[in-house]
Amino acid sequence: MIISLEFLAKSFLIINFDVNKDDQHYRDMKNYLFLIALMVMALSTAAQELPQFSPYNYDGWEYNNPNVELSTTDIASGNIALYVDSSNRALALTSPQFDCSGINSIEALVNWNTPTFYLSTFDLSRAALTMVIEDEGHNAIDSVTCVPTTPDVSTHKLTLTLAVPTGLSKARLRFISWQANVDSFGAVRKVSLTAATAPVDMLPGDLNSNGKLDISDVTALIDFILAGSELATQPAADVDGNGSISISDVTALIDSILSGNKNS
């Protein structure tokens, strides 16, 4: 994205040095200054993206077992046990906080491992796994529990789906197995999460369809223009509503962001 911005800025530099100082020149100069401001914003604004929930990347996740130092290797190799420990405390795996605005549901696919030698006496209900969604203050907002139904396999695949309440902007997830105990020896082997984006009415300039306007929409719009794409494929690109796409849509979008007009 930065490369695209630099490319566009250099293009405008050339235009500004070569074109006579007529009205078009000043409009180009204004656009150029906007792009400089844009690049500053791009460098100073942290990307608002979901963390990469992957069995091979648990950076920022927490595991409340003081005897085990959480690492990606631990989770990927099946060493994360979720059970009620000897202090009757539920061990939990907790995600980092993430931006959930514009997301309407989260689905978790969990591999739950029970060693085969326990299966003959193992109570599957003990392997019930709960996913809790918490708000910014770490208050539980909602939860869902899933129980394995196939006792004849040692690895269970559970699917947990939770709706993200409207208006919740920051959230984190916790995975707990309240009913399991040490003897059940259950372990989460893999957690992979996907987020479904809420359908929203078309918001001019909201190119990534997340319901708000920010720097990522500007870079997407510039890429869209440079690619020579058809307006019909992305109606939100016509920010100023004149029926075509041009650099004026970029300045209109930046104006909208700078004025804090994020929802209309």
Piece of the chain touching Ca ion by CB under 5 A; list 103-111, 154-162, 205-213, 222-230? 205-213
Only one residue has tokens 């061990």, namely: 91
Q: Which stretch binds Ca ion (CB under 5 A): 56-64, 107-115, 141-149, 238-246?
A: 238-246
Burial class (CB in 10 A: 0-12, 13-18, 19+), 239: buried
Q: Which of 95, 160, 249, 253 binds Ca ion (CB under 5 A)?
A: 249
Max distance between CA atoms of the chain, in angstroms, equals 86
- For position 256 contacting Ca ion by CB under 5 A, the verdict is no
Over the window 72 to 111, marking each residue x when it contacts Ca ion by CB under 5 A and - when it does not, the resulting string is ----------------------------------------
User: What is the CA angle 244-249-252, rounded to 5?
Assistant: 140
Q: Binder to Ca ion among 35, 80, 187, 206 (CB under 5 A)?
A: 206
Interacting span for Ca ion (CB under 5 A) from 7-15, 26-34, 44-52, 231-239: 231-239
- Where does this chain touch Ca ion (CB under 5 A) — which range of 27-35, 67-75, 121-129, 215-223? 215-223
Among the listed residues 24, 73, 116, 242, the single contact to Ca ion using CB under 5 A: 242
Residue 110 tokens, joined: 């969990």
Distance of closest approach, residue 130 Cβ to Ca ion, in angstroms: 33
Q: For the residues of 188-208, what is the DSSP string, one character each?
A: EEEEEEEEEEPP----TT-TT
Give least dist CB 217 to Ca ion, A: 4
Asked if 224 contacts 130 with a C-beta cutoff of 8 angstroms, the reply is no
Describe the chain by its helix, strand, coil percentages, rounded to 5.
30, 25, 45
Which is closer to Ca ion, CB of 134 or CB of 206?
206
CB neighbourhood size of 258 (10 A): 12
Is 206:128 a contact under the CB 8 Å cutoff? no
Distance of closest approach, residue 170 Cβ to Ca ion, in angstroms: 17
240 binds Ca ion (CB under 5 A): yes
Beta-bridge partner residues of 106: 162, 195
Among 94, 114, 130, 210, interactor with Ca ion by CB under 5 A: 210
Residues that bind Ca ion (CB under 5 A): 206, 208, 210, 217, 238, 240, 242, 249
